Structure 1
Amino acid sequence: MRVLLDHRRPAAPGARVTASELADLYAFPRGRRWVRANFVTSLDGSAVGADGRSGSINTPADNRVFALQRDLCDAVLVGAGTVRAEGYERVEPSRRRPEPPALVVVSASGRVPEGLRTPVEGRGAGLFLTCSAAGARRLGRARSALGSEAVVVAGDEEVDLGAALDSLAARGLRHVLCEGGPSLFSAALSAGVVDELALTLAPTLVGGDGPGITAAPRLGGPAGLAVWPRLLVEEAGTLLGLWRVSRS
Structure 2
Amino acid sequence: MSDVDRLFATPLAQVSDFVFDENVARVFPDMIKRSVPGYPTIVENIGVIAAHYAQPGTLIYDLGCSLGAATQSMRRHLRQEGCRILAVDNAAAMVQRCAEYLSAQDSMIEELVPATVMQADILDLDFEPCSVVVLNFTLQFIAPPQRLALLQRIRQALLPGGILILSEKFRFADDREQERLEQVHYAFKRANGYSDLEIAQKRSAIENVMLLDTPQTHLSRLEQAGFSQAYSWFQCFNFGSIVAHA
Higher relative CO (Cα under 8 Å, sequence separation at least 6) belongs to: 1
| Greater per-residue strand proportion | 1
The structure whose residues are more often helix, as a share, is 2
TM-score (norm 2): 0.40
Under a length normalisation based on structure 1, what TM-score does the superposition of the two structures give? 0.39
